[in-house]
Amino acid sequence: MGLRAYLAKRILYSIALVFLVITLNFVLFMSMPGGPMAGLANPSRLKDQAAIDEQLRRFGLLDPPHIRYLKYVQSMLTFQFGYSYHSNELIYTEIGIRLTNTFAMVIPAEIIAIVIGLLFGVFAAYKRGRTLDLSTSMASIVTNSLPVFWVGGVLLLIFSLTLGWFPSTHAYPSEWILPGHWPTSILVELSVRLQHLFLPILTLVIILTGSYFLLTRASMMEILSEDYLVTAKAKGLSSRKVLFKHAFKNASLPVITNIAIAFGFMLSGATVTETVFAYEGLGLWIWQSLDYADFPALQAIFFLIALCVIIANLIADLAYGIIDPRIKYE
């Protein structure tokens, strides 16, 4: 099977998977105990029956199930997710407000963790059994096992509450919300935002680096004993070329899969980290939506997360054949 045929097959498979995700997303949320009607039509929230009916009509909860499903599919595919139960604001507006904050935190943390984990993983496998290997392996196992909320709490205690070097919460100072308080200087805004980002990013780097290191080291350990690497060394190639041009290229497939999944789930933010630091991103919004039983918001964000994971896996599958020509598209 050629690349075009394989790509067409994978795209069709991905489209079918998207519709399966949409259907499961609809069924699961509509089957949850209580359901959306119980919350919106709660007399403690709305005393007037006319107001209750208006709310139910606005969210389409008076329609038959099949009509609700068709409207739901249309809203997901057009990214017009409707209104939030809690805030009554448009969901895509809510997502847009928080998306920049999430990307500003997660993307740098992922990149830093990947670079550190891959480099130390390659050299630890090359120096296996020595001090570098033993120390980095032990540190990675420990950091990879630590709870996120514990790491975030320790960093807050040391760098914010004790030393006072960095802010403890939020993506920006609370007073910026007030009219006329947002800084007019881009440099001032960037400096303050970086101060608020430092501890959340450091938390994620500490947690994520260990997994990338351990996976890279394990993959490299399987490759370094291959005969073609012995031949490459015998030809006089430098250790750097042997490690990165030959060994790591062939050991990188599991790492690529892990990176693709990590970036696919990037849209969910780092829910625990954002909650610990009260950081106004998508992860904190997911937590708050769970607390408020805001079903439309949760359906929208879960659909977007699934869509990103599907796309990331498709890209990873195509990257396999580019990196390793031995892989055939079948």
Residue 112 has a pLDDT of 92
Average pLDDT over residues 194-217: 88
Task: Tell me the DSSP string of 58-83.
Answer: HTTTTS-HHHHHHHHHHHHHTT---B
Token reading at 63: 């329609």
pTM of the predicted model as reported, rounded to 2 decimal places: 0.78
**DSSP 8-state code for residue 242:** I
Residue 66 has a pLDDT of 79
Average pLDDT over residues 78-88: 79
Do 55 and 40 contact (CB within 8 A), yes or no?
yes
Domain coordinates of the chain in residue numbers?
Answer: 3-77, 92-323
Do 223 and 130 contact (CB within 8 A), yes or no?
no
Average pLDDT over residues 205-214: 88
Residue 37 has a pLDDT of 55
| Residue 96, C-beta contacts closer than 8 angstroms, at least 6 positions apart | none
Average pLDDT over residues 202-215: 89
Largest CA distance in the chain: 85
- How far CA 324 is from CA of 129, 198, 245, 253, in Å, comes to 29, 37, 12, 8
Residue 90, helix vs strand vs coil: strand
**Superfamily of domain 92-323, CATH level 4:** MetI-like (1.10.3720.10)
